Each structure stands twice: as structure tokens, then as C-alpha cells.
Structure 1
Amino acid sequence: MVEIIVISTLIIAIAMAFLCVKLLFKQNGRFASQHIHDSKAMRERGIHCVMDQDREARRESRFAVSEKNN
């Protein structure tokens, strides 16, 4: 049981070290943004995040979902 905990801890520590390599050794190292609105390729294709789509839908009409009068 102790061996499994030690091995698991070692694997997690190695993974964290690999994740931190860019942050530690590059002067302004940082992770790239994973948000859709920060991706140039997504903007060129006209793909927006759901928050932007909702905001656009609310600007276009009073209701986000069209309502029918019966």
C-alpha cells in the first residue's frame, strides 16, 4: 500500500515538474489561453464561445428564445 502511494506521488511530482518547465525557464513564461475568444483561428472561422453567442442573441432581440403568440 505504501509503495502505491509513493509511486503515485512520484508520478504526480514528475508531471507537475514538466508542466512548470516553461514557466520556470522562460522569462515571461505562461500557459497559452484556452478560451475560444482568445484563439485567432476560431475567430477567423466565426466560432464564438457560448457566452458571446448568448450576448449577441440578447442584443438582437428582447428574448434569447423567440416566443410564439397562440
Structure 2
Amino acid sequence: MLYTLLITLLIVAICLVLLGVKVFFTKGGKFPNGHVSGNKALRDKGISCAQSQDREAQAKPSNSIDEYEKTLNDSMN
């Protein structure tokens, strides 16, 4: 069992080193930004993450039911 544990730890350590080659061995290296807002192509399309969209939606003042009814009536006429 100890042998299996040591082999497992060795494999995990090798994987971590291989995943972090750019970070560990290049000057100023850092992991790539995996967040939606860090992707230029998505930003150009106007796509943002759900947390940002939720924050923006909550920052806007909510409309009253009367305003919704008026908008609905105006769209039907």
C-alpha cells in the first residue's frame, strides 16, 4: 500500500510540474486567464460572465408593474 501511495504522489507531482512549466520556468510566466472576461474574442462579441450580468441587472432600478403594463399595452397597439 505504501508503494502505491508513493507512485501516486510521484505521478501527481510530475503532472503539476508539467502543467506549470510556463509558470515555473519562464520569467514573468503566469497561468492563462480562464475567465470569460479575460477572453478578448468574447468581449468583442459583448459576451460577459453570468456574475457580471447579474451584477449589472441588480444595479439597474427595477420597474414597477404599472410600467410593465404600460409597455405591454403600447406594444399591443
TM-score, normalised to structure 2, is 0.69
What is the aligned-residue identity percentage?
37
Count of matched residue pairs: 67
Q: How much does 1:2 deviate?
A: 1.6
Supply the distance in 2 between the matched residues of 1:56 and 1:21 (Cα, whole angstroms): 38
Residue equivalent to 2:40: 40
**Deviation per residue, 1:22-46 (Å, 9 max, x gap):** 1122111001111111111111222
Of Structure 1 and Structure 2, the greater helix share is in: 2
Aligned to 2:73: none
Shift of 1:19: 2.1
Please give the alpha-carbon distance, in whole angstroms, between the structure 2 residues aligned to 1:55 and 1:20.
Answer: 33
Moved over 3 A (4+): 66-69
Unpaired segments ≥5 residues, structure 1: none
Gaps spanning 5+ residues in structure 2: where?
Answer: 70-77
CA distance in 2, matches of 1:16, 1:53: 34
Between Structure 1 and Structure 2, whose CA radius of gyration is higher? 2
TM-score (norm 1): 0.75
Q: Which residue does 2:18 correspond to in 1?
A: 18
Cα distance in structure 1, aligned partners of 2:10 and 2:55: 45
- Alignment RMSD, CA only? 2.4
